Amino acid sequence: MKGITGYWKTVLLPIVLTASSCVAVIDEPPRREVVVVEAERHGPPPWAPAHGWRRKHDAYHYYPVIQVYYYPAARKYYWLEAGQWKIGVRLPSHYVIEEHRALVVELDDEPHKHHHKIKAQYPPDYFERGKGKGKGS
Protein backbone atom coordinates (compact mmCIF):
# COMPACT_ATOMS: atom_id res chain seq x y z
CA MET A 1 0.00 0.00 0.00
CA LYS A 2 2.95 2.20 0.70
CA GLY A 3 3.99 1.96 -2.96
CA ILE A 4 0.69 3.36 -4.18
CA THR A 5 0.79 6.25 -1.69
CA GLY A 6 4.31 7.17 -2.78
CA TYR A 7 3.29 6.94 -6.42
CA TRP A 8 0.23 9.04 -5.64
CA LYS A 9 2.29 11.76 -3.94
CA THR A 10 5.08 11.87 -6.49
CA VAL A 11 3.31 11.33 -9.82
CA LEU A 12 -0.46 11.50 -9.71
CA LEU A 13 -0.90 14.39 -7.26
CA PRO A 14 1.20 16.86 -9.30
CA ILE A 15 -0.66 15.83 -12.48
CA VAL A 16 -4.07 16.27 -10.83
CA LEU A 17 -3.08 19.64 -9.32
CA THR A 18 -1.65 20.88 -12.62
CA ALA A 19 -4.73 19.78 -14.56
CA SER A 20 -7.12 21.35 -12.05
CA SER A 21 -5.30 24.69 -12.23
CA CYS A 22 -5.73 24.82 -16.01
CA VAL A 23 -9.29 26.06 -15.93
CA ALA A 24 -10.11 28.67 -18.55
CA VAL A 25 -12.50 31.44 -17.63
CA ILE A 26 -14.06 33.26 -20.55
CA ASP A 27 -15.28 36.67 -19.58
CA GLU A 28 -17.72 37.93 -22.20
CA PRO A 29 -18.95 41.48 -22.12
CA PRO A 30 -22.60 41.76 -21.12
CA ARG A 31 -24.95 41.48 -24.05
CA ARG A 32 -27.00 44.53 -24.80
CA GLU A 33 -30.44 44.35 -26.21
CA VAL A 34 -30.88 46.41 -29.36
CA VAL A 35 -34.33 47.63 -30.28
CA VAL A 36 -34.83 48.95 -33.82
CA VAL A 37 -37.81 51.19 -34.35
CA GLU A 38 -38.65 52.20 -37.89
CA ALA A 39 -40.81 55.14 -38.79
CA GLU A 40 -44.13 54.32 -40.37
CA ARG A 41 -43.78 54.23 -44.13
CA HIS A 42 -46.47 54.72 -46.67
CA GLY A 43 -46.45 52.86 -49.95
CA PRO A 44 -44.64 49.70 -50.98
CA PRO A 45 -41.50 48.53 -49.17
CA PRO A 46 -38.16 49.67 -50.66
CA TRP A 47 -37.38 46.19 -52.05
CA ALA A 48 -40.64 46.01 -54.02
CA PRO A 49 -40.43 46.61 -57.78
CA ALA A 50 -40.87 50.26 -58.69
CA HIS A 51 -44.11 51.26 -60.37
CA GLY A 52 -45.65 54.54 -61.46
CA TRP A 53 -43.98 57.79 -60.39
CA ARG A 54 -41.05 56.16 -58.55
CA ARG A 55 -40.16 54.09 -61.58
CA LYS A 56 -40.20 57.05 -63.95
CA HIS A 57 -38.65 59.74 -61.76
CA ASP A 58 -35.39 60.07 -59.89
CA ALA A 59 -33.95 62.63 -57.52
CA TYR A 60 -31.42 64.96 -59.14
CA HIS A 61 -29.45 67.75 -57.50
CA TYR A 62 -29.88 70.91 -59.55
CA TYR A 63 -27.46 73.80 -59.22
CA PRO A 64 -29.31 76.85 -60.61
CA VAL A 65 -26.31 79.20 -60.54
CA ILE A 66 -24.38 77.04 -63.03
CA GLN A 67 -27.42 75.18 -64.47
CA VAL A 68 -25.98 71.73 -63.80
CA TYR A 69 -27.79 68.53 -62.79
CA TYR A 70 -26.23 65.76 -60.73
CA TYR A 71 -27.73 62.28 -60.54
CA PRO A 72 -26.30 60.66 -57.36
CA ALA A 73 -27.55 57.13 -58.11
CA ALA A 74 -25.44 56.98 -61.30
CA ARG A 75 -22.84 59.56 -60.20
CA LYS A 76 -23.34 61.55 -63.40
CA TYR A 77 -23.44 65.25 -64.16
CA TYR A 78 -25.49 66.89 -66.91
CA TRP A 79 -24.38 70.31 -68.19
CA LEU A 80 -24.93 72.58 -71.16
CA GLU A 81 -21.88 73.26 -73.32
CA ALA A 82 -21.92 75.18 -76.61
CA GLY A 83 -25.66 74.61 -76.99
CA GLN A 84 -25.46 70.83 -76.41
CA TRP A 85 -26.07 68.80 -73.28
CA LYS A 86 -23.11 66.78 -72.05
CA ILE A 87 -23.07 63.89 -69.58
CA GLY A 88 -20.09 62.76 -67.54
CA VAL A 89 -18.80 61.58 -64.19
CA ARG A 90 -16.83 64.83 -63.81
CA LEU A 91 -17.64 68.40 -64.66
CA PRO A 92 -15.27 70.56 -66.67
CA SER A 93 -12.92 72.43 -64.33
CA HIS A 94 -14.56 75.83 -64.89
CA TYR A 95 -17.71 74.67 -63.06
CA VAL A 96 -17.67 75.18 -59.30
CA ILE A 97 -20.19 73.18 -57.27
CA GLU A 98 -21.57 74.89 -54.18
CA GLU A 99 -23.31 72.09 -52.26
CA HIS A 100 -25.34 74.51 -50.16
CA ARG A 101 -26.87 75.93 -53.35
CA ALA A 102 -28.44 72.74 -54.64
CA LEU A 103 -32.08 71.86 -55.06
CA VAL A 104 -33.45 68.33 -55.19
CA VAL A 105 -35.75 67.92 -58.18
CA GLU A 106 -37.65 64.81 -59.29
CA LEU A 107 -37.11 64.16 -63.00
CA ASP A 108 -37.06 61.28 -65.45
CA ASP A 109 -33.86 59.86 -66.92
CA GLU A 110 -33.31 62.86 -69.24
CA PRO A 111 -33.27 65.97 -67.04
CA HIS A 112 -32.10 68.24 -69.85
CA LYS A 113 -35.44 67.77 -71.63
CA HIS A 114 -37.15 69.59 -68.75
CA HIS A 115 -34.51 72.28 -68.34
CA HIS A 116 -36.65 75.12 -69.72
CA LYS A 117 -39.28 74.43 -67.04
CA ILE A 118 -36.73 73.93 -64.24
CA LYS A 119 -34.81 77.07 -65.22
CA ALA A 120 -38.03 79.13 -65.19
CA GLN A 121 -38.94 77.78 -61.75
CA TYR A 122 -35.39 78.07 -60.34
CA PRO A 123 -33.52 80.80 -62.27
CA PRO A 124 -29.74 81.27 -61.84
CA ASP A 125 -30.33 84.06 -59.28
CA TYR A 126 -32.77 81.91 -57.26
CA PHE A 127 -30.66 81.95 -54.10
CA GLU A 128 -29.75 85.64 -54.37
CA ARG A 129 -33.44 86.54 -54.36
CA GLY A 130 -33.80 84.85 -50.98
CA LYS A 131 -36.23 82.15 -52.15
CA GLY A 132 -33.90 79.21 -51.74
CA LYS A 133 -32.41 78.06 -48.49
CA GLY A 134 -30.39 75.09 -49.76
CA LYS A 135 -30.90 71.44 -50.63
CA GLY A 136 -34.47 70.24 -50.74
CA SER A 137 -36.06 73.72 -50.85
Which pLDDT does position 58 carry in this prediction? 82
d(CA 100, CA 28): 47
Report angle CA 65, 70, 75 to the nearest 5 degrees: 150
* Cβ 61 vs Cβ 72: under 8 Å: yes
Q: How do the domains of the chain map onto residue ranges?
A: 52-121
Which pLDDT does position 28 carry in this prediction? 67
- For the stretch 28-64, pLDDT in tens is 666 666 555 555 656 666 565 555 544 556 889 999 9
Which segments of the chain have a pLDDT < 70? 1-9, 16-17, 19-57, 130-137
Q: Against a cut of 0.75, is the pTM above it?
A: no
